[in-house]
Structure 1
Amino acid sequence: MSNKKALVLAALDGKPVERIPSSFWFHFLDNEAGVDAFENPELIEQVLAGEKHYIETFKPDFAKIMTDGYFHYKHPQVANAKQVSDLKNLQPLADDDRWFTDQIAYAKKLADAYGDETALFYNIFGANSTFRFMQPDPTKGEALLVEWIKQDPETVKQALDVISSDLAKLAKRVILEAGVTGIYFSVQNLLGEGVNEQTYQEILAPGEKAILKAAKEASEYNILHICGYAGHRNSLEWYKDYDVKTINWAAVVEGISLAEGRKIFPNHSVIGGFGNLKTDLLYTGTKEEIQAEARRIVAEAGKTGVLLGADCTVPKDIAWERLEWVREALR
Structure 2
Amino acid sequence: MEQKRENLRRMLEGLPHEHIPVSFFQHMQPQELQGEACVKAHIRFYKRTDPDFLKIMHDGLTAPVCLDLTSLEELKAYRPGKDRNPYIRDYLDRACRINEALAGEADTYSNVFTPFTLLRRIGDGRLLGFLKEDPGAVRDALLFLGEDLAWLSERLIKEAGCLGIFLAMQGAETGLFAPEEFTALVAPSEQLVVTAAEENSPYNILHFCGWNQIKNQLELWRDYPGNTVNWAVYVEKLSLEEGRKYFGMRNCLGGFDNRRGKLLYSGTQEEIRQETRHILETYRRTFGNTDGLMLGADCSFLPDFETERFCWVTEALREWEREEKAAFG
TM-score (norm 2): 0.88
Q: Would you say the 8 A contact 1:184–1:222 is kept in 2?
A: yes
Structure 2 residue 89 is matched with structure 1 residue 101: yes
Instruction: State the match for 1:281 in structure 2.
Output: 263
Structure 2 residue 310 is matched with structure 1 residue 310: no
Instruction: State the match for 1:213 in structure 2.
Output: 195
Structure 2 residue 277 is matched with structure 1 residue 295: yes
Q: Would you say the 8 A contact 2:58–2:111 is kept in 1?
A: yes
Distance 2:264 2:239 in 1: 16
C-alpha spacing 1:130/1:224, structure 2 compared with 1 (3 Å): same
Distance 1:194 1:125 in 2: 18
Matches within 5 A, 1:1-331: 2-30=2-30, 43-70=34-61, 72-76=62-66, 79-88=67-76, 90-114=78-102, 116-133=104-121, 135=122, 141-191=123-173, 195-302=177-284, 303-331=290-318
* SS at structure 1 position matched to 2:83: coil
Gaps of at least 5 residues in structure 1 are 38-42, 136-140
C-alpha spacing 1:309/1:62, structure 2 compared with 1 (3 Å): same
Indicate the percent of aligned positions where both proteins have the same amino acid: 36
Distance 1:94 1:74 in 2: 9
Letter in 1 for 2:257: G
C-alpha spacing 1:251/1:191, structure 2 compared with 1 (3 Å): closer
More off after superposition, 288-297 vs 235-244: 288-297
C-alpha spacing 1:277/1:94, structure 2 compared with 1 (3 Å): closer
Instruction: State the match for 2:326 in structure 1.
Output: none
* SS at structure 1 position matched to 2:211: coil
Letter in 2 for 1:322: R
Letter in 1 for 2:104: D
Distance 2:176 2:25 in 1: 34
- Give 1:198 deviation, angstroms: 1.3
TM-score (norm 1): 0.87
Letter in 2 for 1:75: V
Distance 1:194 1:18 in 2: 43
Letter in 2 for 1:14: G
Q: Which runs of 4+ in 1 moved over 6 A?
A: none
Gaps of at least 5 residues in structure 2 are 285-289, 319-329
Distance 1:288 1:193 in 2: 40
C-alpha spacing 1:192/1:274, structure 2 compared with 1 (3 Å): closer
